């Protein structure tokens, strides 16, 4: 009996060692550091070459000459605009930390100044084909494809097929106070999550069933790379439904459900929120709820963290788990007889103060992605 336990223990230990080492090797190959450092990249030795004419393939558009559809899909993704998009540009202006660039324009030559955005290599490509697939002159894949042509020289990086790969940029904490106050070039992290997508997913019912890649990578079309998320109106529209119950003559409970989202919503960027509006059937505004993190600057308080959340996890639509649905409910009152209400759903991409002091038009910062009618059941006093 005890022998078997020892055996099992050793087995698990060995597996862990093998996979642990593999993960470490893969992270080393990718030069991923969870955003602490840039990805140091040497265009000459790291770029892969076109095996037909020997030309260096330095940019995503170079890959696009053959992988046309994937390139076009990636172009529409937020990854391709991670540096150039106006929301990022504006918020980086407000918080000009070189740290931001390590995920939004991660490539840098090893002799360059980390703090200077203009020195980032291929910054206009954001998170590019090269960011995820090219190092040491090779194409990184989780499994070398069986191919007669063997067009590329490949390197196997198992991590590419794992959620931990995405987690390198999609799971991280706030920088600690010292990093912010002393404006350090390389931050150290506090214990407070800033983006918590991977952890939220691990806590959900989806863990072990579907991973980031299953829903965001090759979705819909063949070899997609569109990475739909909070800017994809079509996908958002499909992901939410709304229903209503009448509690009494004048009170209603309205429910909003998320379908097929394997983490909280909103997740990711801390300024993002989901606005939900109820209007009368004539379109007159009645009430609005906002789901998203609220926090305040804590830099000069005694506490350790640089930032403090003002609200807890309750402010999201949680992912489905064994005990709960992915649902949020709100109660409101309306003191007239009606047969239906209207609702509207918006994504809100910025911090409220930036809405006031920023210079971006509201078409960019707040976008409506769904609206509709909700029927109301007739109330007679016997209902209660």
**Residues 32-51 contacting ligand HEC, CB under 6 A:** 35, 48, 50
Toward ligand HEC, which CB reaches closer, 278 or 347? Answer: 347
What minimum distance in Å lies between the beta carbon of 263 and ligand HEC?
5
* Candidates 2-10, 95-103, 112-120, 329-337; binding stretch for ligand HEC (CB under 6 A): 95-103
What minimum distance in Å lies between the beta carbon of 8 and ligand HEC?
30
**Binders of ligand HEC among 133-162, rule CB under 6 A?**
133-134, 139, 141-143, 145, 147, 149-152, 160-161
* Candidates 249-257, 266-274, 293-301, 329-337; binding stretch for ligand HEC (CB under 6 A): 266-274
Toward ligand HEC, which CB reaches closer, 121 or 261? Answer: 261
In the chain, the DSSP E strands lie at: 39-40, 48-49, 56-57, 107-108, 134-135, 138-141, 154-156, 171-175, 189-196, 240-246, 251-258, 273-279, 285-291, 295-297, 307-309, 327-333, 340-348, 366-375
d(CA 323, CA 301): 38
d(CA 239, CA 370): 10
Sign of the torsion angle spanned by Cα atoms 281, 283, 284, 287: positive
**Binders of ligand HEC among 97-126, rule CB under 6 A?**
97, 99-100, 102-104, 106
* Candidates 128-136, 322-330, 331-339, 370-378; binding stretch for ligand HEC (CB under 6 A): 128-136
**Binders of ligand HEC among 270-299, rule CB under 6 A?**
272
What minimum distance in Å lies between the beta carbon of 241 and ligand HEC?
12
Q: Residues touching ligand HEC: how many (CB under 6 A)?
A: 92
86-89 long-range CB contacts below 8 Å, 24 or more apart?
86/360, 86/364, 87/349, 87/350, 87/360, 87/364, 87/365
Short-list 282, 34, 73, 348, CA closest to 166: 34
Q: Which of 41, 107, 131, 176 binds ligand HEC (CB under 6 A)?
A: 131
In DSSP notation, 7-76 reads HHHHHHHHHHHHHHHHHHHHHHHHT--TTSS-EE--HHHHSEE-TTT--EE-SHHHHHTTSHHHHHHHHH
Q: Which of 239, 326, 351, 365 binds ligand HEC (CB under 6 A)?
A: 239
| φ, ψ dihedrals at 147, nearest 5° | -145, 145
- Provide the β-strand partners of residue 175: 189
Q: Does 226 bind ligand HEC (CB under 6 A)?
A: no
Tokens 């506490």, located at residue: 303
Q: Does 206 bind ligand HEC (CB under 6 A)?
A: yes
Toward ligand HEC, which CB reaches closer, 56 or 246? Answer: 56
**Binders of ligand HEC among 310-369, rule CB under 6 A?**
349
**Binders of ligand HEC among 63-92, rule CB under 6 A?**
63-67, 70-71, 74, 78-79, 82, 85, 87-88, 91-92
SS3 216: helix
Short-list 271, 229, 326, CA closest to 95: 271
DSSP 119: G
* Candidates 192-200, 275-283, 306-314, 333-341; binding stretch for ligand HEC (CB under 6 A): 192-200
Q: Which of 22, 210, 249, 355 binds ligand HEC (CB under 6 A)?
A: 210
What minimum distance in Å lies between the beta carbon of 258 and ligand HEC?
8
């Amino acid at each position: 009996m005890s022998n078997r336990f020892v055996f099992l223990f050793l087995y698990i230990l060995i597996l862990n060692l093998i996979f642990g080492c593999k993960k470490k090797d893969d992270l080393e190959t990718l030069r991923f550091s969870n955003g602490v450092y840039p990805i140091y990249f040497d265009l000459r030795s790291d770029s892969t070459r076109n095996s037909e004419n020997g030309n260096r393939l330095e940019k995503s558009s170079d890959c696009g000459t053959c992988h046309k559809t994937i390139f076009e899909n990636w172009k529409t993704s937020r990854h391709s605009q991670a540096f150039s998009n106006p929301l990022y540009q504006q918020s980086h202006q407000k918080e000009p930390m070189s740290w931001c660039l390590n995920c939004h324009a991660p490539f840098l030559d090893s002799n360059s100044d980390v703090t200077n955005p203009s020195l980032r290599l291929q910054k206009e490509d954001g998170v590019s084909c090269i960011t995820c697939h090219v190092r040491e002159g090779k194409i990184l894949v989780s499994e070398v494809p069986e191919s007669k042509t063997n067009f590329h020289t490949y390197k196997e990086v198992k991590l590419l097929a794992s959620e931990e790969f995405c987690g390198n940029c999609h799971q991280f904490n706030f920088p600690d106070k010292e990093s912010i106050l002393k404006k350090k070039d390389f931050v150290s992290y506090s214990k407070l999550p800033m983006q918590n997508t991977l952890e939220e997913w691990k806590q959900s019912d989806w863990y072990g069933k579907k991973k980031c890649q299953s829903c965001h990578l090759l979705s819909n079309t063949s070899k997609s790379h569109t990475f739909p998320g909070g800017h994809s109106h079509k996908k958002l529209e499909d992901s939410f439904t709304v229903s209503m119950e009448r509690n009494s003559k004048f009170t209603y409970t309205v429910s909003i459900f998320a379908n097929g989202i394997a983490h909280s919503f909103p997740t990711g960027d801390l300024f993002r929120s989901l606005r939900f509006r109820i209007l009368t059937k004539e379109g007159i505004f009645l009430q609005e709820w906002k789901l998203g993190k609220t926090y305040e600057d804590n830099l000069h308080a005694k506490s350790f963290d640089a930032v403090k959340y003002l609200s807890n996890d309750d402010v999201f639509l949680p992912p489905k788990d064994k005990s709960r649905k992915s649902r949020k409910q709100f109660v409101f009152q309306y003191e007239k007889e009606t047969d239906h209400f209207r609702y509207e759903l918006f994504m809100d991409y910025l911090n409220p103060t930036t809405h006031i002091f920023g210079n971006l038009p509201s078409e960019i910062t707040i976008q409506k992605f769904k609206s509709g009618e909700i029927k109301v059941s007739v109330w007679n006093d016997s209902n209660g």
